[in-house]
């Protein structure tokens, strides 16, 4: 059985991970451009990345070869406004205008994410997301982008994975700005959610074509231990509680934005209310869909076991050592539908693998094909049961800069030789092309 005829098949990237050209044509510095030093594998930086900035035509042509219907990409805030506020860099807007035009000419619908972690460094020096002015800074930037591109772009996502760029950046020092400051969580949570809400308002007030607006968080999805109603209830409650995963939790970020409710348990966590009733009404802005990034089922330590509850001895893993369990896709779609009532768009799902060009000049990646296949079957199961899923966006279109992990993990459908920037479509790219062409009927 195929998916619905209007199912959204695509792939994704993020500006800091693919563009390069970090100091060209008026671009300002981001926190990743500056603060990577001493914090990443091999001290890898995003300064060149995939050189996508200079290779738009080739990259869009490859997307066309794969048959993508949608391409989700992010706009670099410091490429548009180098200092974060103030003077606009027209060359930055021209770059994204060119990308949008190339996509539309290739029959690919552009989907813009307005923030995917590359905070302008000048704003970081002013406190970044800890500064209560940050929602206004973000709103000003969003207005510039929407005014420039909304005549041709319909799909907008405000913010990608606040769980990560706040959780593992301010509580764990794993991502830029590499801090470990629990006190930062309260102002950052408030300001990021206010920024999301301000952005939704700006998009709806400013867009020149009717916008379709969403949010792209991630979060732990717990699987039931068995098929009983009690086990399903427990897994659901774990998924939307905040006592196991803290700021990495699903409900921490989505409950205020979609339900207009303070996340479960956060008053106790912070020792004071996170939002007033009036503030929650401001944060709860109408969304057309809920994006969600899903890679693994959630687990946690239990008893004296050396394995978390989502692992077992010898379980399959990707090259980042994440356990693989396709059922997480079904439960994500089901639980998100049941709690939030919005159509779900899988905005990221994918597998990093130890890919390389083989003697025949090709990149054979059967594990990735199997990974996508199994996750899509789980997605179709959810759809067959009546849960609303509007599309699947694979992460990522090409191998890229995997943040603190550098360039070793390869998630792409397209292999990138970073020494030469040569692109090679992997077997998974050709397989995904057939899936798209059949609308999933060949699964």
Q: Of the residues 279, 311, 348, 402, which is catalytic? A: 348
Asked if 34 and 95 count as a contact pair (C-beta separation under 8 A), the reply is: no
Length of the chain in terms of residues written: 443
Catalytic residue among 161, 279, 311, 402: 161
> Is 237 annotated in the active site?
no
Say whether 161 is catalytic.
Answer: yes
Residues classed as catalytic: 161, 348
């Amino acid at each position: 059985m195929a998916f619905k005829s209007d199912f959204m098949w695509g792939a994704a990237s993020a500006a800091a991970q693919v563009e390069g050209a970090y100091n060209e044509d008026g671009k300002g510095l981001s926190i990743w451009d500056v603060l990577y030093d001493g914090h990443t594998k091999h001290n890898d930086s995003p300064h060149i990345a995939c050189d996508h900035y200079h290779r738009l035509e080739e990259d869009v042509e490859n997307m066309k070869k794969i048959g993508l219907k949608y391409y989700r990409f992010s706009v670099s805030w410091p490429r548009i406004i180098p200092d974060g506020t103030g003077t606009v860099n027209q060359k930055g807007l021209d770059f994204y205008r060119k990308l949008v035009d190339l996509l539309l000419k290739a029959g690919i619908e552009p989907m813009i994410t307005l923030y995917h972690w590359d905070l302008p460094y000048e704003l970081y020096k002013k406190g970044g997301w800890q500064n209560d002015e940050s929602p206004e800074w973000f709103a000003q930037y969003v207005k510039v982008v929407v005014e420039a591109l909304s005549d041709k772009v319909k799909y907008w996502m405000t913010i990608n994975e606040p769980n990560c760029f706040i959780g593992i950046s301010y509580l764990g020092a794993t991502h830029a700005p590499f801090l470990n400051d629990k006190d930062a969580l309260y102002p950052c949570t408030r300001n990021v959610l206010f920024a999301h809400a301000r952005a939704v308002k700006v998009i709806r007030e400013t867009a020149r074509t009717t916008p379709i607006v969403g949010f792209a968080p991630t979060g732990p999805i717990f699987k039931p231990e068995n098929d009983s109603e009690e086990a399903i209830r427990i897994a659901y409650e774990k998924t939307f509680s905040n006592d196991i995963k803290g700021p990495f939790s699903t409900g921490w970020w989505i409950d205020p934005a979609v339900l207009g409710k303070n996340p479960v348990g956060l008053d106790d966590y912070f020792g004071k209310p996170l939002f007033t009733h009036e503030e929650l009404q401001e944060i709860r802005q109408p969304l057309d869909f809920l994006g969600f990034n899903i890679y693994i089922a959630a687990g946690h330590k239990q008893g004296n076991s050396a394995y978390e509850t989502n692992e077992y001895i010898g379980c399959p893993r990707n090259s980042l050592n994440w356990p693989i369990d396709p059922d997480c896709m079904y439960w994500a779609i089901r639980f998100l539908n049941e709690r939030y009532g919005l159509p779900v768009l899988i905005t990221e799902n994918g597998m990093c693998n130890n890919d390389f060009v083989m003697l025949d000049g090709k990149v054979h990646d059967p594990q990735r094909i199997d990974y996508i296949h199994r996750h899509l079957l789980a997605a179709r199961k959810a759809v067959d049961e009546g849960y609303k899923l509007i599309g699947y966006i694979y992460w990522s279109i090409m191998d890229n800069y995997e943040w603190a992990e550098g360039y070793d993990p390869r998630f792409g459908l397209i292999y990138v030789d970073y020494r030469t920037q040569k692109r090679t479509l992997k077997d998974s790219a050709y397989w995904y092309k057939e899936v798209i062409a059949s609308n999933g009927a060949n699964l």
